[in-house]
Amino acid sequence: MIRFEHVRKRYPGGHEALKNVSFRLDSGEMAFLTGHSGAGKSTLLKLIALIERPSHGSIWVNQRNLARLHPRDIPGHRRRLGIIFQNPTLLFDRSVYENTAVPLRIAGCPEAETARRVRAALDQVGLLDKERLNPVALSGGEQQRLGIARAIVAKPEVILADEPTGNLDPVLSREIMQLFQRLNQVGVTTLIASHDLDLIREFPNRQLTLARGELVGDRS
Amino acid sequence: MSRRRRRPGATFVSPRPRAEPAARKDRRNRRQAPRGRGGSIARHHWQALRSAMHRLVKTPLATLMTVMVIAVALSLPAALQIVVKNAHAVSGNLEHKAQISLFLRQRVTEGQARELQQQLAERSEIVAVEFISRQQALEEFRSLSEFGSALDTLGENPLPHVLLVYPRVDQHDTEQLETLRADLAALPQVELAQLDLAWLQRLFAIIEILQRSVAFISLFLTFAVILVVANTIRLMSQNYREEIEVFKLVGASDAYVRRPFLYSGLLYGFAGGLLALLMVLLATLWLSGPVNELARLYHSDYRLQGLDWRDGLTLLVTGLLLGFGGSWAAVSRYLRELQL
């Protein structure tokens, strides 16, 4: 469950990226966050991931008030999230397998368990046959799927995706969105920021619309 | 390993792509990783150490240069410490040999001189008294001064009997020594009582200056080593910025991110310390021959003192601590700046 209560975010310099945003996303729900560039989509996701802190208001993620989270608890909070970016930020000196295994290694997961879960994640995104390759040998769509595999490998409670199809063609974009839908079917709360309204319309999920930092639409 | 087995329902097809270097590295990593459920901390440290070694090996020239700089910075105070140590050893020997020379009157016979030796040796403030007969003194003078032929022209031996008095009093207490000298000079058999402590005092002063200089230089070079390591680790952390960001975003703690850099610092420090130790040992070996030969020419059994195992251990531990301190400072600052 994600809950925003009157959240404002003002960056140093005075720019107000979010203005009094309130909404609630139930556990296991999937929603799209739409709006033009600069509407505040990325800021909203960053607030959930605690990359940024709100200037005002409170954010709740699975009964945890993020405003009261101690800095030393931030890593633990992030380990419960799966974060996917427009650029999948892969490590190109490691194989597909090792890229996927990063969250498990950080969590200190035993080797056998790591191997099992990495293969399961790669299987889910259709990259199991490429586990030994270097990510540089993957196509753009495959790299994005690898980013998703890394995000889901530690079985997160919430998936946050920031323009995950921004660099992909329409066919690959649809594939990625379908992948998110499949992941959501196992009960993972999913929030996807995207400005691709044509693509979003193909899916029946809830749609939150931001404009100039304000939540101007909430369509189920 | 089990990862080679195909799982039921898996959609992948053979043939497998040819393993790339990254994949070979992964296989090796997984083979060597500590196992067991309780080995999480050990696993993290193992990963961090492996990662640190990988980072150092990846840039061999830069690593070598950093290690060399650390080694030079550590070997300088170590070498100076050896100089101080040897100066102390030399002064220690001299200290115990501080003496008052009693030149007896010409009329004093050898028998009377030996009797006086006995009397003085019984005094509580005197440790020992050595007797040098006028004949012995002449022979010694002849062999050392190379004026043997000139001495032959003299009709008789002009040298007196000499008593060398070794006082029990504190060598640094010149007042007490002077009192003793005056007391001995007043003896009717004594022509001249000579106490020459000035040169010893000068030597002690020089050693004190040397010791303080070593402490100052050591402090100065300690900062230099910390700065070198910190700068190297700062550059390294900038090179790994992307990796650090990914790690932080998937839930790595600052300690997890910091750990490989700390290991890098420790490895730099250890390698620098080890190289410094080798350099100092080689220099000591190289110098010991001529120094020992010089000592032999002065009829001394003095031997050049090098680093013992405690000094070696101190050098290595110092290297490790400085490497750790430098890397801690650099990576902590970097993480603060990153604000993730």
Q: Which range, of A122-126, B26-30, B182-186, averages the lowest pLDDT?
A: B26-30
- Could you say which of B11, B253, B340 has the minimum Cβ distance to residue A51? B340
Check residue B92 and give its pLDDT.
65
Check residue B340 and give its pLDDT.
78
Task: Tell me: pLDDT of B313 over 90.
Answer: yes
Task: Tell me: pLDDT of A158 over 80.
Answer: yes
For residue range B112-143, list pLDDT tens digits in order: 999 999 999 999 888 889 999 988 888 877 77
Chain A residues in contact with B40 (beta carbon < 8 A): 108, 110
- Could you say which of A103, A126, A130 has the minimum Cβ distance to residue B251? A103
* ipTM of model: 0.89
Tokens of A202: 């193909």
Task: Tell me: pLDDT of B1 over 70.
Answer: no
Check residue B38 and give its pLDDT.
52
Check residue A122 and give its pLDDT.
94
Task: Tell me: pLDDT of A168 over 90.
Answer: no
Q: Quick one: average pLDDT of A170-179?
A: 86
Q: Which residue has the higher pLDDT, A3 or B340?
A: A3
As separate numbers, helices (DSSP H) first and strands (DSSP E) second, chain A gives: 7, 10
B287-326 residues labelled b (16+ CB within 10 A) or e (exposed) = eeeeeeeeeeeeeeeeebbbbeeebbebbbebbbbbbbbb
Of B176, B180, B179, B171, which Cα lies nearest the Cα of B203? B171
pTM of the model: 0.70
CA distance B305 to chain A (A): 50
Tokens of A193: 């920021």
* Beta bridge pairs of residue A208: A33, A218
Kindly indicate the confidence band of residue B12, based on its pLDDT and cuts at 50, 70 and 90. Answer: very low
Residue contact A75–B252, C-beta within 8 A: yes
Greatest Cα pair distance in chain B? 120
Q: Is A75 helix (H, G, I), strand (E, B) or coil?
A: helix
Is residue A190 exposed (0-12), middle (13-18) or buried (19+ Cβ within 10 Å)?
buried
For residue range B188-215, list pLDDT tens digits in order: 999 999 887 777 777 778 888 888 888 8
Task: Tell me: pLDDT of A126 over 50.
Answer: yes
- Could you say which of B22, B37, B40 has the minimum Cβ distance to residue A134? B22
Tokens of A67: 């405003």
Decide if A62 contacts A75 (C-beta within 8 A). no
Q: Quick one: average pLDDT of A122-138?
A: 93
Check residue B273 and give its pLDDT.
94
Task: Tell me: pLDDT of A98 over 90.
Answer: yes
Does B256 contact chain A (CB < 8 Å)? yes
Check residue B297 and give its pLDDT.
82
Looking up tokens 């790299």 gives A143
Chain A residues in contact with B249 (beta carbon < 8 A): 49, 51, 78, 83, 89
Q: Which residue has the higher pLDDT, A100 or A186?
A: A100
Q: In this structure, what are the phi and psi dihedrals at residue B209, rounded to the nearest 5 degrees?
A: -65, -45
CA distance B61 to chain A (A): 20
Q: Is B106 helix (H, G, I), strand (E, B) or coil?
A: coil
Q: Which residue has the higher pLDDT, B289 or B300?
A: B289
Quote the CA–CA distance of A114 and B37 in Å, as a whole number: 12
Check residue B96 and give its pLDDT.
56
Chain B residues in contact with A161 (beta carbon < 8 A): none
Quote the CA–CA distance of B136 and B162 in Å, as a whole number: 10
Per-chain mean pLDDT for chain A: 91
Q: Is A60 helix (H, G, I), strand (E, B) or coil?
A: strand
Decide if A194 contacts A9 (C-beta within 8 A). no
Other C-beta atoms closer than 10 Å to the C-beta of B246 total 23
Q: HSE (CB half, 13 Å, CA atoms) of A121?
A: 29
Check residue B19 and give its pLDDT.
40
For residue range B255-287, list pLDDT tens digits in order: 999 999 999 999 999 999 999 999 999 999 999
Kindly indicate the confidence band of residue A183, based on its pLDDT and cuts at 50, 70 and 90. Answer: confident
Of B247, B2, B239, which Cα lies nearest the Cα of A105? B247
Q: In this structure, what are the phi and psi dihedrals at residue B262, rounded to the nearest 5 degrees?
A: -65, -40
CA distance A80 to chain B (A): 8
Task: Tell me: pLDDT of B20 over 70.
Answer: no
Kindly state the helix (H) or strand (E) to which residue A117 belongs, with its residue range.
Answer: helix A111-124
Chain B's closest residue to A120, CA to CA, is B10
DSSP state of A99: H
Chain B's closest residue to A89, CA to CA, is B246
Kindly indicate the confidence band of residue A124, based on its pLDDT and cuts at 50, 70 and 90. Answer: confident
Check residue B89 and give its pLDDT.
78
Kindly indicate the confidence band of residue B31, based on its pLDDT and cuts at 50, 70 and 90. Answer: very low
Residue contact B20–A130, C-beta within 8 A: no
Ordered alpha helix ranges (H), B186-340? 198-239, 241-249, 254-297, 309-338
Chain B's closest residue to A147, CA to CA, is B246
Kindly indicate the confidence band of residue B94, based on its pLDDT and cuts at 50, 70 and 90. Answer: low
Peptide bond into B15 cis (omega under 30): yes
Number of A/B CB contacts below 8 angstroms equals 113
Quote the CA–CA distance of B245 and B242 in Å, as a whole number: 5
Q: Quick one: average pLDDT of A141-166?
A: 91
